Amino acid sequence: MKNVGINGYGTIGKRVADSVACQDDMQIVGVTKRTPDFEAQMAVEKGFPLYISAPEREGLFEEADIKVTGTIDDLYNKVDVMVDCTPGGIGAKNKVIYEEKGIKGIFQGGEKHEQIGKSFNSFANYQDNLGADFVRVVSCNTTGLCRTLKPIDDLCGIKKVRAVMVRRGADPGQIKSGPINAIVPNPPTVPSHHGPDVQTVMYDLNIITMALLVPTTLMHQHNLMVELENPSGVDDVIDTLEATPRVILVEAEKGLGSTAEIMECARDLGRPRSDLFEIAVWKESLNIKDGELFYMQAIHQESDVVPENVDCIRAMLEIEEDPAKSIEKTNKNMGIIG
Ligand code: NAD
Protein backbone atom coordinates (compact mmCIF):
# COMPACT_ATOMS: atom_id res chain seq x y z
CA MET A 1 0.00 0.00 0.00
CA LYS A 2 1.37 3.41 -0.97
CA ASN A 3 0.80 6.28 1.44
CA VAL A 4 -1.00 9.34 0.14
CA GLY A 5 -1.54 12.72 1.83
CA ILE A 6 -4.04 15.35 0.73
CA ASN A 7 -3.01 18.97 1.30
CA GLY A 8 -6.22 21.05 1.10
CA TYR A 9 -9.36 19.06 1.91
CA GLY A 10 -11.77 21.18 -0.16
CA THR A 11 -13.87 20.56 -3.28
CA ILE A 12 -11.22 18.50 -5.10
CA GLY A 13 -9.26 17.30 -2.06
CA LYS A 14 -12.16 15.59 -0.31
CA ARG A 15 -13.14 13.78 -3.50
CA VAL A 16 -9.58 12.61 -4.20
CA ALA A 17 -9.35 11.39 -0.58
CA ASP A 18 -12.46 9.22 -0.96
CA SER A 19 -11.29 7.89 -4.33
CA VAL A 20 -7.85 6.94 -3.02
CA ALA A 21 -9.44 5.33 0.03
CA CYS A 22 -11.44 2.92 -2.14
CA GLN A 23 -8.39 1.62 -4.07
CA ASP A 24 -6.51 -1.50 -2.92
CA ASP A 25 -2.97 -0.31 -3.70
CA MET A 26 -2.93 3.05 -1.91
CA GLN A 27 -4.30 4.58 1.28
CA ILE A 28 -4.86 8.00 2.84
CA VAL A 29 -2.48 8.65 5.74
CA GLY A 30 -3.61 12.22 6.35
CA VAL A 31 -5.55 15.20 5.04
CA THR A 32 -4.93 18.84 5.89
CA LYS A 33 -7.25 21.70 6.71
CA ARG A 34 -6.57 25.38 7.43
CA THR A 35 -10.00 26.12 8.83
CA PRO A 36 -11.94 24.12 11.46
CA ASP A 37 -15.17 24.00 9.43
CA PHE A 38 -17.69 21.24 8.68
CA GLU A 39 -15.33 19.68 6.12
CA ALA A 40 -12.66 19.31 8.81
CA GLN A 41 -15.22 17.75 11.15
CA MET A 42 -16.40 15.33 8.45
CA ALA A 43 -12.85 14.30 7.57
CA VAL A 44 -12.39 13.22 11.20
CA GLU A 45 -15.76 11.44 11.22
CA LYS A 46 -14.75 9.52 8.07
CA GLY A 47 -11.60 8.35 9.86
CA PHE A 48 -9.04 10.40 7.91
CA PRO A 49 -6.21 11.58 10.18
CA LEU A 50 -6.51 15.40 10.17
CA TYR A 51 -3.47 17.68 10.15
CA ILE A 52 -3.45 21.48 10.42
CA SER A 53 -1.80 23.08 7.38
CA ALA A 54 -1.25 26.38 9.22
CA PRO A 55 0.26 25.30 12.57
CA GLU A 56 -0.29 28.78 14.07
CA ARG A 57 -4.05 28.17 13.79
CA GLU A 58 -4.04 25.17 16.15
CA GLY A 59 -5.99 27.14 18.78
CA LEU A 60 -8.93 27.56 16.36
CA PHE A 61 -9.25 23.77 16.03
CA GLU A 62 -9.13 23.38 19.82
CA GLU A 63 -11.86 26.02 20.21
CA ALA A 64 -13.99 24.22 17.61
CA ASP A 65 -13.38 20.94 19.42
CA ILE A 66 -12.09 19.25 16.27
CA LYS A 67 -9.58 16.52 17.01
CA VAL A 68 -6.37 16.77 15.00
CA THR A 69 -3.55 14.27 14.65
CA GLY A 70 -0.87 16.93 14.25
CA THR A 71 0.37 19.68 11.99
CA ILE A 72 1.41 19.32 8.36
CA ASP A 73 5.04 19.05 9.50
CA ASP A 74 4.14 15.70 11.08
CA LEU A 75 2.54 14.48 7.84
CA TYR A 76 5.38 15.06 5.36
CA ASN A 77 7.48 12.05 6.41
CA LYS A 78 4.47 9.71 6.35
CA VAL A 79 3.61 10.14 2.63
CA ASP A 80 4.92 8.66 -0.61
CA VAL A 81 3.10 11.42 -2.46
CA MET A 82 1.23 14.57 -1.43
CA VAL A 83 -1.78 15.44 -3.57
CA ASP A 84 -1.92 19.22 -3.33
CA CYS A 85 -5.50 20.45 -3.68
CA THR A 86 -5.00 23.95 -2.30
CA PRO A 87 -6.43 26.96 -4.18
CA GLY A 88 -4.68 27.88 -7.45
CA GLY A 89 -1.24 29.46 -6.96
CA ILE A 90 -0.58 28.02 -3.50
CA GLY A 91 0.49 24.63 -4.85
CA ALA A 92 3.47 26.12 -6.70
CA LYS A 93 4.65 27.64 -3.41
CA ASN A 94 4.15 24.31 -1.62
CA LYS A 95 6.25 22.57 -4.29
CA VAL A 96 9.36 24.21 -2.82
CA ILE A 97 8.55 22.65 0.57
CA TYR A 98 7.91 19.19 -0.92
CA GLU A 99 11.28 19.43 -2.69
CA GLU A 100 12.98 20.26 0.62
CA LYS A 101 11.19 17.37 2.34
CA GLY A 102 12.06 14.96 -0.49
CA ILE A 103 8.46 13.96 -1.25
CA LYS A 104 6.62 13.75 -4.56
CA GLY A 105 3.76 16.14 -5.28
CA ILE A 106 0.67 16.14 -7.50
CA PHE A 107 -0.87 19.55 -8.26
CA GLN A 108 -4.17 20.67 -9.76
CA GLY A 109 -5.18 22.71 -12.79
CA GLY A 110 -5.05 26.02 -10.93
CA GLU A 111 -1.26 25.84 -11.03
CA LYS A 112 0.75 26.90 -14.07
CA HIS A 113 2.30 24.09 -16.14
CA GLU A 114 5.62 25.96 -16.30
CA GLN A 115 5.90 26.13 -12.50
CA ILE A 116 5.29 22.42 -11.99
CA GLY A 117 7.15 21.16 -15.08
CA LYS A 118 4.93 18.26 -16.18
CA SER A 119 1.19 17.87 -16.78
CA PHE A 120 -0.95 14.73 -16.82
CA ASN A 121 -4.01 13.20 -18.38
CA SER A 122 -4.62 9.45 -18.04
CA PHE A 123 -5.50 9.00 -21.72
CA ALA A 124 -3.06 11.44 -23.33
CA ASN A 125 0.32 11.04 -21.60
CA TYR A 126 0.25 8.64 -18.61
CA GLN A 127 3.51 6.95 -19.57
CA ASP A 128 5.40 10.25 -19.88
CA ASN A 129 4.88 10.72 -16.14
CA LEU A 130 6.10 7.31 -14.92
CA GLY A 131 8.32 7.91 -11.88
CA ALA A 132 8.03 11.72 -12.10
CA ASP A 133 8.42 13.76 -8.91
CA PHE A 134 6.12 16.74 -9.61
CA VAL A 135 3.11 16.55 -11.90
CA ARG A 136 0.04 18.69 -12.48
CA VAL A 137 -3.30 17.07 -13.33
CA VAL A 138 -4.78 19.36 -15.98
CA SER A 139 -7.94 21.37 -15.20
CA CYS A 140 -11.52 20.16 -15.39
CA ASN A 141 -12.09 21.78 -18.80
CA THR A 142 -8.82 20.45 -20.22
CA THR A 143 -9.57 16.97 -18.86
CA GLY A 144 -12.96 17.10 -20.61
CA LEU A 145 -11.38 18.16 -23.90
CA CYS A 146 -8.69 15.43 -23.74
CA ARG A 147 -11.15 12.67 -22.83
CA THR A 148 -13.00 13.03 -26.15
CA LEU A 149 -10.33 14.50 -28.45
CA LYS A 150 -7.75 11.75 -27.79
CA PRO A 151 -9.95 8.85 -28.99
CA ILE A 152 -11.12 10.94 -31.98
CA ASP A 153 -7.48 11.72 -32.83
CA ASP A 154 -6.64 8.01 -32.59
CA LEU A 155 -9.58 7.15 -34.89
CA CYS A 156 -9.41 9.83 -37.59
CA GLY A 157 -6.41 12.08 -36.95
CA ILE A 158 -7.11 15.71 -36.12
CA LYS A 159 -6.07 18.59 -38.39
CA LYS A 160 -7.46 21.37 -36.26
CA VAL A 161 -9.78 21.92 -33.27
CA ARG A 162 -11.86 25.01 -32.53
CA ALA A 163 -13.75 24.92 -29.25
CA VAL A 164 -16.03 27.30 -27.35
CA MET A 165 -16.38 26.63 -23.65
CA VAL A 166 -19.37 27.80 -21.65
CA ARG A 167 -18.10 27.70 -18.09
CA ARG A 168 -20.00 27.57 -14.82
CA GLY A 169 -19.64 30.83 -12.90
CA ALA A 170 -18.99 29.15 -9.54
CA ASP A 171 -19.11 25.78 -7.79
CA PRO A 172 -22.38 25.08 -5.91
CA GLY A 173 -20.84 25.78 -2.52
CA GLN A 174 -19.21 29.08 -3.52
CA ILE A 175 -21.20 32.09 -2.32
CA LYS A 176 -18.84 34.85 -3.39
CA SER A 177 -18.31 34.13 -7.11
CA GLY A 178 -20.46 35.18 -10.03
CA PRO A 179 -21.80 36.27 -12.42
CA ILE A 180 -25.41 36.14 -11.23
CA ASN A 181 -26.96 37.97 -14.18
CA ALA A 182 -24.49 38.29 -17.05
CA ILE A 183 -22.62 36.40 -19.75
CA VAL A 184 -18.94 37.21 -19.37
CA PRO A 185 -16.37 36.51 -22.08
CA ASN A 186 -13.67 34.99 -19.88
CA PRO A 187 -11.11 35.76 -20.97
CA PRO A 188 -12.37 38.44 -23.40
CA THR A 189 -9.29 37.74 -25.51
CA VAL A 190 -8.79 34.91 -28.00
CA PRO A 191 -7.44 32.31 -27.62
CA SER A 192 -8.28 31.37 -24.04
CA HIS A 193 -5.68 29.47 -22.01
CA HIS A 194 -7.54 26.16 -22.43
CA GLY A 195 -6.06 25.30 -25.85
CA PRO A 196 -2.44 25.73 -24.71
CA ASP A 197 -3.36 23.74 -21.60
CA VAL A 198 -4.49 20.80 -23.77
CA GLN A 199 -1.13 21.04 -25.56
CA THR A 200 0.67 20.34 -22.26
CA VAL A 201 -0.61 16.74 -22.56
CA MET A 202 -1.58 16.36 -26.27
CA TYR A 203 1.62 18.00 -27.42
CA ASP A 204 1.06 18.39 -31.19
CA LEU A 205 -2.66 19.15 -31.25
CA ASN A 206 -3.67 22.21 -33.29
CA ILE A 207 -6.33 23.76 -31.03
CA ILE A 208 -7.73 27.22 -30.41
CA THR A 209 -10.32 27.88 -27.69
CA MET A 210 -12.66 30.67 -26.57
CA ALA A 211 -14.45 30.74 -23.22
CA LEU A 212 -17.23 32.54 -21.40
CA LEU A 213 -18.73 32.41 -17.92
CA VAL A 214 -22.46 32.03 -17.31
CA PRO A 215 -24.65 32.10 -14.17
CA THR A 216 -24.81 28.38 -13.41
CA THR A 217 -23.02 26.16 -10.89
CA LEU A 218 -23.80 22.67 -12.17
CA MET A 219 -21.46 21.95 -15.08
CA HIS A 220 -19.35 23.37 -17.88
CA GLN A 221 -20.55 22.91 -21.45
CA HIS A 222 -18.25 22.64 -24.52
CA ASN A 223 -18.94 23.13 -28.25
CA LEU A 224 -16.34 21.55 -30.51
CA MET A 225 -15.52 21.82 -34.21
CA VAL A 226 -12.87 19.31 -35.26
CA GLU A 227 -11.33 19.16 -38.74
CA LEU A 228 -10.39 15.53 -39.37
CA GLU A 229 -7.38 14.14 -41.26
CA ASN A 230 -9.23 11.02 -42.41
CA PRO A 231 -12.95 11.63 -41.93
CA SER A 232 -14.93 8.49 -41.13
CA GLY A 233 -18.65 8.03 -40.69
CA VAL A 234 -20.29 9.57 -37.64
CA ASP A 235 -21.27 6.05 -36.52
CA ASP A 236 -17.57 5.16 -36.16
CA VAL A 237 -17.12 8.19 -33.90
CA ILE A 238 -20.16 7.16 -31.85
CA ASP A 239 -18.82 3.58 -31.51
CA THR A 240 -15.41 4.93 -30.47
CA LEU A 241 -16.81 7.28 -27.83
CA GLU A 242 -19.12 4.55 -26.53
CA ALA A 243 -16.08 2.32 -26.07
CA THR A 244 -14.01 5.06 -24.39
CA PRO A 245 -13.81 4.82 -20.59
CA ARG A 246 -14.98 7.89 -18.64
CA VAL A 247 -17.08 9.12 -21.58
CA ILE A 248 -20.84 8.55 -21.82
CA LEU A 249 -23.21 9.41 -24.62
CA VAL A 250 -26.45 11.07 -23.49
CA GLU A 251 -29.56 11.83 -25.51
CA ALA A 252 -31.77 14.89 -25.26
CA GLU A 253 -34.56 12.68 -26.60
CA LYS A 254 -34.33 10.61 -23.40
CA GLY A 255 -34.71 13.61 -21.16
CA LEU A 256 -31.04 14.54 -20.90
CA GLY A 257 -31.19 17.73 -22.93
CA SER A 258 -29.47 20.02 -20.44
CA THR A 259 -26.82 20.13 -17.73
CA ALA A 260 -29.60 20.25 -15.12
CA GLU A 261 -31.10 16.97 -16.33
CA ILE A 262 -27.68 15.31 -16.59
CA MET A 263 -26.95 16.21 -12.96
CA GLU A 264 -30.39 14.96 -11.96
CA CYS A 265 -29.44 11.65 -13.60
CA ALA A 266 -26.12 11.70 -11.66
CA ARG A 267 -28.14 12.13 -8.45
CA ASP A 268 -30.27 9.13 -9.42
CA LEU A 269 -27.11 7.06 -9.98
CA GLY A 270 -26.53 7.39 -6.24
CA ARG A 271 -22.92 8.43 -6.56
CA PRO A 272 -21.18 10.11 -3.61
CA ARG A 273 -21.97 13.86 -3.68
CA SER A 274 -23.98 13.21 -6.92
CA ASP A 275 -20.72 13.33 -8.83
CA LEU A 276 -20.48 12.55 -12.54
CA PHE A 277 -16.89 11.55 -13.19
CA GLU A 278 -17.63 10.82 -16.86
CA ILE A 279 -17.78 13.39 -19.68
CA ALA A 280 -21.32 13.48 -21.11
CA VAL A 281 -21.42 13.88 -24.91
CA TRP A 282 -24.78 14.70 -26.52
CA LYS A 283 -25.28 11.92 -29.07
CA GLU A 284 -27.58 14.05 -31.24
CA SER A 285 -24.91 16.76 -31.52
CA LEU A 286 -22.39 14.49 -33.25
CA ASN A 287 -22.29 15.34 -36.93
CA ILE A 288 -19.71 15.40 -39.74
CA LYS A 289 -20.00 18.03 -42.50
CA ASP A 290 -17.31 18.53 -45.17
CA GLY A 291 -14.75 16.56 -43.15
CA GLU A 292 -15.45 18.49 -39.96
CA LEU A 293 -16.82 16.83 -36.83
CA PHE A 294 -19.14 18.81 -34.54
CA TYR A 295 -20.22 17.88 -31.04
CA MET A 296 -21.33 19.21 -27.64
CA GLN A 297 -20.40 17.89 -24.22
CA ALA A 298 -20.93 18.57 -20.52
CA ILE A 299 -18.34 18.42 -17.76
CA HIS A 300 -18.97 18.03 -14.03
CA GLN A 301 -16.19 20.36 -12.95
CA GLU A 302 -16.06 19.24 -9.33
CA SER A 303 -15.36 15.58 -10.11
CA ASP A 304 -14.00 14.79 -13.61
CA VAL A 305 -10.35 15.26 -12.57
CA VAL A 306 -10.67 12.96 -9.56
CA PRO A 307 -10.03 9.55 -11.23
CA GLU A 308 -7.12 11.18 -13.12
CA ASN A 309 -5.52 12.03 -9.75
CA VAL A 310 -5.70 8.35 -8.76
CA ASP A 311 -4.08 7.27 -12.05
CA CYS A 312 -1.45 9.97 -11.65
CA ILE A 313 -0.47 8.51 -8.26
CA ARG A 314 -0.01 5.07 -9.90
CA ALA A 315 2.12 6.54 -12.70
CA MET A 316 4.35 8.65 -10.43
CA LEU A 317 4.88 5.85 -7.89
CA GLU A 318 5.28 3.33 -10.76
CA ILE A 319 2.63 1.06 -9.29
CA GLU A 320 1.29 0.39 -12.81
CA GLU A 321 2.99 1.08 -16.14
CA ASP A 322 -0.02 0.40 -18.35
CA PRO A 323 -2.48 3.32 -18.43
CA ALA A 324 -5.37 1.09 -19.54
CA LYS A 325 -4.91 -1.16 -16.50
CA SER A 326 -4.79 1.79 -14.10
CA ILE A 327 -7.87 3.39 -15.69
CA GLU A 328 -9.77 0.09 -15.45
CA LYS A 329 -8.79 -0.42 -11.81
CA THR A 330 -9.63 3.14 -10.78
CA ASN A 331 -12.97 2.96 -12.56
CA LYS A 332 -13.93 -0.39 -11.04
CA ASN A 333 -13.12 0.75 -7.50
CA MET A 334 -14.94 4.08 -7.94
CA GLY A 335 -17.98 2.58 -9.67
CA ILE A 336 -17.47 4.55 -12.89
CA ILE A 337 -19.82 3.20 -15.54
CA GLY A 338 -18.54 4.75 -18.75
P1 NAD B 1 -11.35 24.77 -2.56
O2 NAD B 1 -11.27 26.20 -2.16
O3 NAD B 1 -12.67 24.11 -2.60
O4 NAD B 1 -10.43 23.91 -1.58
C5 NAD B 1 -9.13 24.32 -1.22
C6 NAD B 1 -8.79 23.77 0.15
O7 NAD B 1 -7.47 24.21 0.49
C8 NAD B 1 -9.72 24.26 1.26
O9 NAD B 1 -9.95 23.19 2.15
C10 NAD B 1 -8.90 25.36 1.95
O11 NAD B 1 -9.23 25.47 3.31
C12 NAD B 1 -7.49 24.82 1.78
N13 NAD B 1 -6.46 25.88 1.80
C14 NAD B 1 -6.59 27.18 1.52
N15 NAD B 1 -5.40 27.80 1.64
C16 NAD B 1 -4.51 26.84 1.98
C17 NAD B 1 -3.12 26.85 2.26
N18 NAD B 1 -2.42 27.99 2.19
N19 NAD B 1 -2.52 25.68 2.59
C20 NAD B 1 -3.23 24.53 2.65
N21 NAD B 1 -4.56 24.47 2.42
C22 NAD B 1 -5.18 25.62 2.09
O23 NAD B 1 -10.60 24.67 -3.95
P24 NAD B 1 -10.85 23.59 -5.09
O25 NAD B 1 -12.01 24.02 -5.93
O26 NAD B 1 -10.85 22.22 -4.52
O27 NAD B 1 -9.56 23.83 -6.00
C28 NAD B 1 -8.31 23.25 -5.69
C29 NAD B 1 -7.48 23.15 -6.94
O30 NAD B 1 -8.17 22.31 -7.88
C31 NAD B 1 -7.24 24.47 -7.67
O32 NAD B 1 -5.98 24.41 -8.31
C33 NAD B 1 -8.33 24.48 -8.73
O34 NAD B 1 -8.02 25.29 -9.83
C35 NAD B 1 -8.36 23.02 -9.10
N36 NAD B 1 -9.61 22.55 -9.70
C37 NAD B 1 -10.82 22.97 -9.22
C38 NAD B 1 -11.97 22.51 -9.82
C39 NAD B 1 -13.34 22.96 -9.37
O40 NAD B 1 -14.25 23.02 -10.16
N41 NAD B 1 -13.52 23.29 -8.11
C42 NAD B 1 -11.90 21.63 -10.90
C43 NAD B 1 -10.65 21.18 -11.32
C44 NAD B 1 -9.51 21.65 -10.72
Tell whether the model's pLDDT for residue 338 goes beyond 80. Answer: no
**DSSP-assigned letters across all residues of 278-306:** SEEEEGGG-EEETTEEEEEEEE-TTTTTH
* Cα 226 to ligand 1 centroid, rounded to whole Å: 32
Is pTM, for the whole model, over 0.85? yes
140 is catalytic: yes
Per annotation, catalytic residue among 140, 146, 156, 312: 140
* Cα 189 to ligand 1 centroid, rounded to whole Å: 26
CA distance 186 to 147: 23
- Percentage with pLDDT > 90 across the chain: 98
Q: Can you list the pairs that 30-35 forms with residues at least 24 positions away whose Cβ atoms lie under 8 Å?
A: 30/5, 30/6, 30/69, 30/75, 30/78, 30/79, 31/5, 31/6, 32/5, 32/6, 32/7, 32/8, 32/72, 32/75, 33/9, 35/60
> Could you report the per-residue pLDDT of 46-96, keeping only the tens digit for each?
999 999 999 899 999 999 999 999 999 999 999 999 999 999 999 999 999
pLDDT for 64 equals 96
Position 254 confidence tier, pLDDT thresholds 50, 70, 90: very high
Residues in the chain: 338
Residue 23: DSSP 8-state? -
> Could you report the per-residue pLDDT of 119-132, keeping only the tens digit for each?
999 999 999 999 99
pLDDT for 337 equals 78
Contact 159/206 with Cβ under 8 angstroms? Answer: yes
Tell whether the model's pLDDT for residue 308 goes beyond 80. Answer: yes
Tell whether the model's pLDDT for residue 199 goes beyond 90. Answer: yes
Tell whether the model's pLDDT for residue 26 goes beyond 80. Answer: yes
